[in-house]
Amino acid sequence: MRYFTLLLFIGFVVVSCTKDKVPAPMVSNYYQSQGNLLILKIGTDLEGIYEYNLASTVLNNDSLPLCFSSYSDGINYFNYLKFTPNPDTLLQISANNFTFFTNQIDKINLQYLNSTLPFDAVQFQSLGTQNNLNYAQLWSKISNLDLVKTYRNSNPNSKIGINRIVINVYDEQLGISVPNAKYLIFLAK
């Protein structure tokens, strides 16, 4: 009985002397913003998300200072996009190919919100001569992304740039190439 009481006493001392574990801080498995310019490529659905860390994202009168330039080598026609005054080319478009000069963010790593960000047509800036863009429909495809909310919260008065690009996509059923619209949406911090 003495051994049992002694073991019980030692067990009680050991259990009462253990430290309470402090819970580790929650680490998010979602993509965390690392840049200051976000480009979203939308077709029928969200096709790609690209984030850049530019030296400057100063806005002129809340407009996005995006600069498109073109080049032709006699055979192919190339369009380039820069965010002025940065010298870096953000993307190149040639024929039906988009080349982004940063890594694509995996959509699996994005955090989706339970609610969507409100739509405000005044916040949109059409880039180029594009008429009849359905801003609300495009906004509905990205307005539930936490990454988009992060950008809008950091600079709520900046414009949301939209550029429509029409490419030709081969349709197997028709046997010809048909025009297909792609939209680039630009958000700056």
- Which strand ranges, in their side-by-side order, compose the sheet holding 97-100? 66-72, 77-83, 89-94, 97-100
pLDDT at position 103 is: 95
CB-based contact 57:186 (threshold 8 Å): no
d(CA 84, CA 100): 17
Task: Using alpha carbons, list the distances in angstroms from residue 184 to 18, 79, 105, 172.
Answer: 57, 14, 15, 26
Checking if the pLDDT of 3 tops 80, the result is no
pLDDT tens, 140-188?
999 999 999 999 999 898 899 999 988 888 889 988 988 888 999 999 9
Identify the DSSP state of 85.
Answer: T
Task: Using alpha carbons, list the distances in angstroms from residue 5 to 8, 13, 18, 70, 170.
Answer: 5, 12, 20, 88, 84
Within 8 A by CB and 6+ apart from 66, the residues are: 81, 82, 83, 84, 127, 161, 163, 186
pLDDT tens, 19-30?
555 555 555 688
3-state secondary structure of 145: strand
Sign for the CA dihedral angle at 169, 88, 57, 69 comes to negative
pTM: 0.80
**Average pLDDT score over residue span 95-120:** 92
Within 8 A by CB and 6+ apart from 159, the residues are: 59, 62, 63, 64, 123, 124, 125
Average pLDDT, the chain: 85
Give the distance from CA 9 to its chain's centroid: 60
